[in-house]
């Protein structure tokens, strides 16, 4: 048995999973793990080694250190692409499973990623699937990366981001090993029309109802 509830937050790229998961964890006093960071760090190490991220990267996953997750250069689109390539390798995923499960063992946790509610914690207490249209997500990522909406090249850069998010979502949903998909018992939150505060309010309501129902 675990020392607290596990809340799974899954969904496509730049939907707002991390923003929500971090704030949920704060509100519920639970530890938070951004599991995408694990795959980004492995992708970064493969790139640093001069390796094509599609070639075997298991050794990087098995030797991952806490300091590898603190590097400032993990949030770039290039690293995201590399992350998606290493994440398609079953050996890489297998090397990271225990780290994720152990993280929640003592106190429970909020984790965000692609396969938390389907593969890592199929028995999670609450499963949320956060989504938005590709154009909304591309704009969110553009602004998050410091883009200026009024810059002359903004439309082109947003369109390029949308294309790369789409390609990554297709790869993540289409791979054989732990693909991104909506768990049968997940609550889907469609966020095109919702600010981050409204998403948090909705998620907290779902989580509190679910957790109250479980303890009855």
The DSSP symbol for 10 reads E
Among 46, 42, 176, CA closest to 115: 176
Residue with smaller CB distance to ligand CDP, 205 or 214: 205
With contacts defined by CB under 6 A, name the span among 24-32, 61-69, 81-89, 204-212 that binds ligand CDP.
Answer: 81-89
**Residue 204 Cβ vs ligand CDP, minimum distance, rounded to whole Å:** 14
Q: Does 83 bind ligand CDP (CB under 6 A)?
A: yes
Give the alpha-carbon dihedral of 53, 37, 131, 123, to 10 degrees.
110
Whole-Å CA distances, 136 to 16, 36, 155, 189, 190: 11, 20, 13, 14, 11
Which residues 6+ apart lie within 8 Å of 98 measured at CB? none
With contacts defined by CB under 6 A, name the span among 52-60, 61-69, 194-202, 208-216 that binds ligand CDP.
Answer: 194-202
Q: Does 53 bind ligand CDP (CB under 6 A)?
A: no
Integer Cα distance of 125 and 19 in angstroms:
20
Instruction: Determine which residue in the list 23, 44, 114, 210 makes contact with ligand CDP, applying CB under 6 A.
Output: 114
Residues 120-149 that bind ligand CDP (CB under 6 A): 140, 144
Cα within 13 Å of Cα(128), Cβ side: 29
The site that binds ligand CDP (CB under 6 A) totals a number of residues, namely 30
Q: Does 23 bind ligand CDP (CB under 6 A)?
A: no
Residue with smaller CB distance to ligand CDP, 23 or 210: 23
The DSSP symbol for 186 reads P
**Residue 55 Cβ vs ligand CDP, minimum distance, rounded to whole Å:** 16
Q: SS3 for 14-63, per residue?
A: CCCHHHHHHHHHHHHCCCEEECHHHHHHHHHHHHHCCCCCCCCCHHHHHC
Instruction: Determine which residue in the list 18, 53, 108, 117 makes contact with ligand CDP, applying CB under 6 A.
Output: 18
Residue numbers at the binding site for ligand CDP (CB under 6 A):
11, 13-19, 35-36, 39-40, 80, 83-84, 87, 112-116, 140, 144, 168, 172, 191, 194-196, 199
């Amino acid at each position: 048995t675990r020392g607290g509830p596990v809340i799974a937050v899954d969904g496509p790229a730049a939907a707002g999973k991390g923003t929500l998961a971090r704030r949920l964890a704060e509100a519920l006093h639970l530890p938070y793990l951004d599991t995408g960071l694990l795959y980004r760090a492995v992708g970064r190490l493969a790139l640093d080694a001069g390796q094509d991220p599609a070639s075997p990267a298991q050794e990087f996953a098995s030797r991952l250190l806490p300091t590898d997750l603190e590097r400032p250069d993990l949030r770039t689109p290039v690293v995201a692409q590399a992350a998606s390539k290493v994440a398609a390798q079953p050996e890489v995923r297998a090397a990271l499973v225990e780290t994720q499960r152990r993280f929640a063992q003592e106190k429970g946790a909020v984790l965000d990623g692609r396969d938390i509610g389907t593969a890592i914690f199929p028995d999670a207490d609450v499963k949320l699937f956060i989504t938005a249209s590709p154009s909304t997500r591309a704009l969110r990522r553009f602004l998050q990366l410091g883009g200026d909406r009024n810059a002359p090249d903004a439309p082109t850069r947003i369109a390029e981001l949308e294309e790369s998010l789409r390609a990554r979502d297709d790869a993540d949903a289409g791979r054989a090993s732990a693909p991104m998909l909506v768990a049968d018992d997940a609550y889907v939150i469609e966020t095109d029309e919702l600010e981050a505060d409204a998403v948090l309010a909705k998620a907290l309501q779902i989580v509190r109802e679910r957790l109250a129902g479980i303890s009855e």
